[in-house]
Chains A and B, each alone.
Chain A
Amino acid sequence: MTAPSDEIKQLRPELWETINERYPGSMITKTDFVPLARLSKLLSQTRLTFVSSAGIQPRGSMPFDVVHPVGDFSFRRVPSALSVSDLEIHQIKYPTTGALRDLNVIFPIERLQELAAEGLIGELTPNFFSFIGYQMDPEHFEQTLAEDIADAVVSDGAEAALLCPA
Protein backbone atom coordinates (compact mmCIF):
# COMPACT_ATOMS: atom_id res chain seq x y z
CA MET A 1 0.00 0.00 0.00
CA THR A 2 1.32 3.44 -0.89
CA ALA A 3 1.60 6.01 1.87
CA PRO A 4 -0.14 9.34 1.11
CA SER A 5 3.18 11.21 1.22
CA ASP A 6 4.59 8.93 -1.52
CA GLU A 7 1.57 9.60 -3.71
CA ILE A 8 2.18 13.33 -3.43
CA LYS A 9 5.84 12.95 -4.34
CA GLN A 10 4.90 10.95 -7.41
CA LEU A 11 2.49 13.54 -8.76
CA ARG A 12 4.85 15.61 -10.90
CA PRO A 13 6.93 12.87 -12.56
CA GLU A 14 3.83 10.78 -13.16
CA LEU A 15 2.14 13.76 -14.79
CA TRP A 16 5.02 14.02 -17.24
CA GLU A 17 4.72 10.32 -18.09
CA THR A 18 1.01 10.74 -18.64
CA ILE A 19 1.57 13.44 -21.26
CA ASN A 20 3.99 11.19 -23.10
CA GLU A 21 1.57 8.27 -22.91
CA ARG A 22 -1.37 10.27 -24.23
CA TYR A 23 0.65 11.90 -27.00
CA PRO A 24 3.48 9.46 -27.74
CA GLY A 25 6.68 11.11 -28.88
CA SER A 26 5.19 14.59 -28.79
CA MET A 27 7.69 16.08 -26.35
CA ILE A 28 11.11 17.34 -27.31
CA THR A 29 13.89 16.49 -24.87
CA LYS A 30 17.37 17.90 -25.42
CA THR A 31 20.52 17.08 -23.51
CA ASP A 32 22.63 20.01 -24.68
CA PHE A 33 22.43 23.78 -24.94
CA VAL A 34 23.03 25.79 -28.12
CA PRO A 35 25.71 28.51 -28.01
CA LEU A 36 24.27 31.97 -27.38
CA ALA A 37 24.12 34.48 -30.21
CA ARG A 38 24.62 38.03 -28.99
CA LEU A 39 22.94 41.31 -29.81
CA SER A 40 25.28 43.29 -32.04
CA LYS A 41 23.61 46.66 -31.35
CA LEU A 42 21.66 48.47 -28.69
CA LEU A 43 18.06 47.31 -28.41
CA SER A 44 17.01 50.77 -29.60
CA GLN A 45 18.80 50.05 -32.88
CA THR A 46 17.76 46.40 -33.20
CA ARG A 47 15.17 44.94 -35.59
CA LEU A 48 12.94 42.59 -33.60
CA THR A 49 10.67 39.81 -34.80
CA PHE A 50 7.95 37.88 -33.03
CA VAL A 51 7.20 34.16 -33.48
CA SER A 52 4.02 32.63 -32.10
CA SER A 53 2.47 29.16 -31.99
CA ALA A 54 -0.94 30.55 -31.07
CA GLY A 55 -2.49 30.12 -34.52
CA ILE A 56 -2.93 33.86 -35.12
CA GLN A 57 -3.30 34.74 -38.79
CA PRO A 58 -4.52 37.52 -41.05
CA ARG A 59 -8.23 37.32 -41.76
CA GLY A 60 -8.81 35.59 -45.07
CA SER A 61 -5.55 33.60 -45.10
CA MET A 62 -5.69 29.80 -45.28
CA PRO A 63 -6.75 28.57 -41.82
CA PHE A 64 -4.44 26.24 -39.95
CA ASP A 65 -5.58 22.61 -39.85
CA VAL A 66 -6.48 22.46 -36.17
CA VAL A 67 -7.82 18.88 -36.21
CA HIS A 68 -5.03 17.14 -38.11
CA PRO A 69 -4.01 14.06 -36.07
CA VAL A 70 -0.27 14.70 -36.51
CA GLY A 71 -0.04 18.48 -36.93
CA ASP A 72 -0.02 21.35 -39.41
CA PHE A 73 3.59 22.04 -40.38
CA SER A 74 2.89 25.25 -42.31
CA PHE A 75 3.30 28.82 -41.12
CA ARG A 76 1.81 32.23 -41.89
CA ARG A 77 3.44 35.60 -42.20
CA VAL A 78 1.61 38.22 -40.16
CA PRO A 79 2.54 41.75 -41.30
CA SER A 80 3.72 43.54 -38.18
CA ALA A 81 1.87 46.74 -39.14
CA LEU A 82 -1.57 45.08 -39.05
CA SER A 83 -4.10 45.97 -36.41
CA VAL A 84 -5.74 43.47 -34.07
CA SER A 85 -8.99 43.71 -36.04
CA ASP A 86 -7.14 42.31 -39.09
CA LEU A 87 -6.31 39.08 -37.22
CA GLU A 88 -8.11 35.95 -36.11
CA ILE A 89 -7.25 32.80 -34.14
CA HIS A 90 -7.20 29.33 -35.68
CA GLN A 91 -6.19 27.04 -32.83
CA ILE A 92 -8.30 25.14 -30.30
CA LYS A 93 -5.64 23.68 -28.01
CA TYR A 94 -5.27 26.48 -25.47
CA PRO A 95 -7.73 28.71 -23.59
CA THR A 96 -8.57 31.77 -25.66
CA THR A 97 -10.84 33.42 -23.09
CA GLY A 98 -8.41 36.32 -22.66
CA ALA A 99 -7.23 36.49 -26.26
CA LEU A 100 -10.76 36.79 -27.64
CA ARG A 101 -11.20 39.97 -25.60
CA ASP A 102 -7.69 41.36 -26.06
CA LEU A 103 -5.43 39.53 -28.50
CA ASN A 104 -2.38 41.14 -26.89
CA VAL A 105 -2.47 38.61 -24.04
CA ILE A 106 -1.07 36.00 -26.46
CA PHE A 107 -0.02 38.03 -29.53
CA PRO A 108 1.08 41.48 -28.26
CA ILE A 109 1.25 43.15 -31.66
CA GLU A 110 0.00 46.51 -30.34
CA ARG A 111 2.52 46.57 -27.50
CA LEU A 112 5.39 45.74 -29.86
CA GLN A 113 4.24 48.47 -32.27
CA GLU A 114 4.20 50.92 -29.36
CA LEU A 115 7.70 49.95 -28.18
CA ALA A 116 9.01 50.42 -31.73
CA ALA A 117 7.21 53.78 -32.08
CA GLU A 118 8.70 54.94 -28.76
CA GLY A 119 12.16 53.93 -29.94
CA LEU A 120 12.82 51.39 -27.24
CA ILE A 121 13.08 48.80 -30.01
CA GLY A 122 14.82 49.91 -33.20
CA GLU A 123 12.09 48.57 -35.46
CA LEU A 124 9.97 45.50 -36.14
CA THR A 125 10.56 43.08 -38.98
CA PRO A 126 8.02 43.54 -41.81
CA ASN A 127 6.40 40.26 -40.74
CA PHE A 128 5.81 38.26 -37.62
CA PHE A 129 5.60 34.47 -37.92
CA SER A 130 2.77 32.25 -36.84
CA PHE A 131 2.07 28.52 -36.65
CA ILE A 132 0.16 26.12 -34.40
CA GLY A 133 1.59 24.01 -31.64
CA TYR A 134 0.47 20.53 -30.63
CA GLN A 135 2.69 18.86 -33.20
CA MET A 136 2.76 15.10 -32.68
CA ASP A 137 5.91 14.45 -34.72
CA PRO A 138 8.64 16.58 -33.12
CA GLU A 139 11.38 15.18 -35.32
CA HIS A 140 9.52 16.17 -38.49
CA PHE A 141 8.70 19.51 -36.85
CA GLU A 142 12.38 20.21 -36.17
CA GLN A 143 13.45 19.19 -39.67
CA THR A 144 10.79 21.19 -41.52
CA LEU A 145 8.78 23.91 -39.82
CA ALA A 146 11.45 24.94 -37.31
CA GLU A 147 14.02 25.33 -40.08
CA ASP A 148 11.53 27.04 -42.42
CA ILE A 149 10.61 29.67 -39.85
CA ALA A 150 14.25 30.18 -38.82
CA ASP A 151 15.10 30.84 -42.49
CA ALA A 152 12.13 33.20 -42.85
CA VAL A 153 13.13 35.10 -39.70
CA VAL A 154 16.61 35.66 -41.13
CA SER A 155 15.22 36.61 -44.56
CA ASP A 156 13.06 39.26 -42.91
CA GLY A 157 16.19 40.84 -41.44
CA ALA A 158 15.57 39.99 -37.80
CA GLU A 159 18.36 40.90 -35.40
CA ALA A 160 16.56 39.53 -32.35
CA ALA A 161 13.55 37.29 -31.85
CA LEU A 162 10.86 37.08 -29.20
CA LEU A 163 9.03 33.75 -29.24
CA CYS A 164 5.82 32.73 -27.58
CA PRO A 165 4.93 29.04 -27.61
CA ALA A 166 1.23 29.01 -26.73
Chain B
Amino acid sequence: MQRAIERRGVPTVSMTVALDVTEHCKPPRSVFLPFMMGHHFGVPFHRELQLRIILAALDHLIKTERSGEIHLFPMTWAQVRQEGKVLEAEL
Protein backbone atom coordinates (compact mmCIF):
# COMPACT_ATOMS: atom_id res chain seq x y z
CA MET B 1 0.00 0.00 0.00
CA GLN B 2 2.81 2.39 0.88
CA ARG B 3 4.42 1.65 -2.44
CA ALA B 4 1.11 2.36 -4.23
CA ILE B 5 0.86 5.77 -2.54
CA GLU B 6 4.50 6.61 -3.32
CA ARG B 7 3.92 5.67 -6.99
CA ARG B 8 1.20 8.33 -7.12
CA GLY B 9 3.81 10.96 -6.26
CA VAL B 10 3.03 11.28 -2.55
CA PRO B 11 6.11 10.76 -0.35
CA THR B 12 5.51 8.23 2.43
CA VAL B 13 7.06 6.97 5.64
CA SER B 14 5.87 4.05 7.76
CA MET B 15 6.37 2.93 11.33
CA THR B 16 7.27 -0.71 11.90
CA VAL B 17 7.74 -2.99 14.89
CA ALA B 18 8.49 -6.00 12.64
CA LEU B 19 11.84 -5.50 10.98
CA ASP B 20 11.82 -8.82 9.11
CA VAL B 21 8.41 -8.13 7.55
CA THR B 22 9.56 -4.64 6.52
CA GLU B 23 12.74 -6.04 4.96
CA HIS B 24 10.60 -8.42 2.92
CA CYS B 25 8.04 -5.93 1.60
CA LYS B 26 10.52 -3.07 1.00
CA PRO B 27 8.57 0.13 1.67
CA PRO B 28 10.20 3.34 0.39
CA ARG B 29 10.97 4.71 3.88
CA SER B 30 10.34 3.29 7.32
CA VAL B 31 11.22 3.77 10.97
CA PHE B 32 11.84 0.65 13.04
CA LEU B 33 10.75 0.81 16.67
CA PRO B 34 11.74 -2.26 18.73
CA PHE B 35 8.48 -2.03 20.68
CA MET B 36 5.57 -4.35 21.42
CA MET B 37 3.02 -4.81 18.65
CA GLY B 38 0.28 -2.20 18.82
CA HIS B 39 2.53 0.32 20.60
CA HIS B 40 4.32 1.96 17.68
CA PHE B 41 4.08 5.41 19.26
CA GLY B 42 5.21 4.27 22.69
CA VAL B 43 3.29 4.08 25.94
CA PRO B 44 0.06 5.67 27.22
CA PHE B 45 0.07 9.36 28.16
CA HIS B 46 3.72 9.87 27.14
CA ARG B 47 2.93 12.82 24.91
CA GLU B 48 6.52 13.96 24.52
CA LEU B 49 7.67 10.51 23.37
CA GLN B 50 4.73 10.16 20.98
CA LEU B 51 5.69 13.50 19.43
CA ARG B 52 9.37 12.53 19.28
CA ILE B 53 8.51 9.34 17.36
CA ILE B 54 6.32 11.20 14.86
CA LEU B 55 9.02 13.85 14.38
CA ALA B 56 11.65 11.12 13.81
CA ALA B 57 9.43 9.73 11.07
CA LEU B 58 8.87 13.13 9.47
CA ASP B 59 12.59 13.84 9.62
CA HIS B 60 13.22 10.52 7.87
CA LEU B 61 10.62 11.50 5.29
CA ILE B 62 12.68 14.57 4.43
CA LYS B 63 16.18 13.12 4.66
CA THR B 64 15.91 9.71 2.99
CA GLU B 65 18.13 9.56 -0.06
CA ARG B 66 17.58 6.01 -1.31
CA SER B 67 14.35 4.02 -1.49
CA GLY B 68 14.12 1.36 1.21
CA GLU B 69 16.05 3.19 3.92
CA ILE B 70 15.05 2.08 7.43
CA HIS B 71 15.73 4.46 10.32
CA LEU B 72 16.36 2.67 13.62
CA PHE B 73 14.69 4.58 16.46
CA PRO B 74 17.28 4.84 19.24
CA MET B 75 15.28 3.53 22.20
CA THR B 76 14.49 0.06 23.53
CA TRP B 77 11.06 -1.10 24.65
CA ALA B 78 12.45 -1.48 28.17
CA GLN B 79 13.53 2.18 28.22
CA VAL B 80 10.17 3.31 26.89
CA ARG B 81 8.25 1.25 29.44
CA GLN B 82 10.43 2.60 32.24
CA GLU B 83 9.73 6.18 31.16
CA GLY B 84 6.03 5.34 31.04
CA LYS B 85 6.09 3.96 34.58
CA VAL B 86 7.82 7.05 35.94
CA LEU B 87 5.38 9.27 34.09
CA GLU B 88 2.31 7.45 35.35
CA ALA B 89 3.59 7.52 38.92
CA GLU B 90 3.64 11.31 38.65
CA LEU B 91 0.13 11.57 37.17
B10 lies within 8 A of A37 (CB): yes
CB contact under 8 A between A150 and B5, given known A36-B67, A161-B10: yes
Q: How far is the CA of A12 from the CA of B21 in the complex (A)?
A: 12
Contacting residues of chain B (42-68) with chain A, CB-CB under 8 angstroms: 42-45, 47, 50-51, 54-55, 57-58, 61-62, 64, 66-68
Q: How far is the CA of A121 from the CA of B1 in the complex (A)?
A: 23
Contact of A166 among B9, B40, B57 (CB under 8 A): B40
Q: How far is the CA of A99 from the CA of B37 in the complex (A)?
A: 11
B43 lies within 8 A of A163 (CB): no
A85 within 8 A of B: no
Q: How far is the CA of A16 from the CA of B11 in the complex (A)?
A: 29
Among A2-10, A57-65, A139-147, which stretch is in contact with chain B?
Answer: A139-147
What's the minimum C-beta distance from A106 to chain B, rounded to whole angstroms?
5
Q: Which residues of A contact B55 (CB under 8 A)?
A: 115, 120
A106 lies within 8 A of B11 (CB): no
Q: Which residues of B contact A150 (CB under 8 A)?
A: 1, 4-5, 7-8
A101 lies within 8 A of B58 (CB): no
Q: How far is the CA of A102 from the CA of B84 in the complex (A)?
A: 12
A28 lies within 8 A of B6 (CB): no
A160 within 8 A of B: yes
Q: Which residues of B contact A38 (CB under 8 A)?
A: 11
B85 within 8 A of A: no
A83 within 8 A of B: no
17 new A-B contacts at CB < 8 Å, known A32-B26, A105-B42, A142-B4: A30-B24, A30-B25, A37-B7, A43-B61, A98-B39, A104-B50, A111-B47, A114-B51, A115-B55, A154-B5, A158-B5, A158-B10, A160-B11, A162-B15, A162-B61, A164-B14, A164-B15
- Give me the 7 closest cross-chain CB pairs, A-B, nearest first: A102-B44, A33-B67, A146-B1, A150-B4, A94-B38, A163-B14, A101-B44
What's the minimum C-beta distance from B80 to chain A, rounded to whole angstroms?
10
Contact of B6 among A34, A101, A108, A112 (CB under 8 A): A34
What's the minimum C-beta distance from B64 to chain A, rounded to whole angstroms?
7
